[in-house]
Structures are given as C-alpha cells and as structure tokens.
Amino acid sequence: MQIKTVLMDALAVDRALKRISHEIIENNKGVNNIVMLGIAKGGVPICDILAKNIFDIEKIEISTAKLDITNFRDDKTKDNIKENLAVEDIGFSLVGKDVILCDDVLYTGRTVRAGIEAIIKHGRPKSIQLAVLIDRGHRELPIRADYVGKNVPTSRDEIIKVEIDNNTKSVILCQ
C-alpha cells in the first residue's frame, strides 16, 4: 500500500471533530437525550473524542459504548448469522434516546446498515444519527451521514486510512 497524500493532519482532524460536536449539540437542542455508540473498531475513538468535546462544551457527560456489528454484517453466511444473533450488552438503554452512531469512514453504507440493525435489537430509539470523520462516496445502500468531517471523492481502488490513537491523528489516502 503506497501513500498518495495526507488528507488531514492532527489539527484538521481535531477541528473537524470539534465542528461535528457543536453540530450535534445544535441539531439536538442540547445533549440531554443523547447517547453515543462507536462502531468497533474505527468508530470507537471518534465516539470517545466527540463525547469528550461535548463534555468540554456542555459540561454534561454523554453515555458511550462500543457497538459490535459482527453478527449483523451481510457478508456472513445466513447460518452463521442465525446462530450468532446475541446482542452484546452496551450498559444503558437506547429506548427513546437520540443515538449518535459514530464511524471513521463511510463508504458503501453496509457497515452502517449493520450498525442500525444492531441498535434496533437493543430497543427502539427516538432517532439514529450518523457521524463520520470521512465520507468517501460509493454508496451501495441509501445511507447518508448527518455529520461529516470531510467529504473525499475517491476511486474504488483507493484506500482511506484513519489513524487515531494517543500519539497520532491523521487521515491518509493510499493506493
């Protein structure tokens, strides 16, 4: 995999996630009914950063959890899915909540579809909103993000690599 360009450095990632945090607060008229779920694994750090940003702004702690979508993916065989429909406990109720589903990159929409299905297995939320750092297009399902850090037109041959950990924040386009 060859690096083509750096799309976002640490400062750009931080700016985008702070902007998304403000948009979430504004669009939901506060954060009293919000919970946040990060799709394992790329969405978890996005979720954590957004929740921290919201706390810094509103001084209200948002319930967050990792959402494991493995059992809801459509690239698994039907037999495996039927056997493994157990829903991992996330530790709080989603019923009647405004759920912010977080991921790093939105591509075909299939991961988000699996996330929505997993959320609904936990109960009926008031709404499900999608926050992503990168939207690269090429949707195969009618899914769009409510909050986007950056739209990046790509070819199907290109790869978007998001690195977010304690020491690194970057978004890289590879070929």
- Whole-number pLDDT of residue 154: 95
CA distances from 168 to 21, 47, 106, 134, 162 (A): 20, 16, 21, 17, 10
- Whole-number pLDDT of residue 136: 97
Radius of gyration of the chain (CA): 16
- Copy the structure tokens of residue 98: 């405004």
pTM (2 decimals)?
0.93
- Copy the structure tokens of residue 104: 């790093």
- Whole-number pLDDT of residue 13: 98
Q: By three-state DSSP, how is residue 107 classified?
A: coil
Residues of the chain short of pLDDT 50, as ranges, are 82
- Copy the structure tokens of residue 26: 């504004």
Contacts of residue 33, defined as CB under 8 A and 6 or more positions apart, other chains included, come to: 96, 97, 98, 126
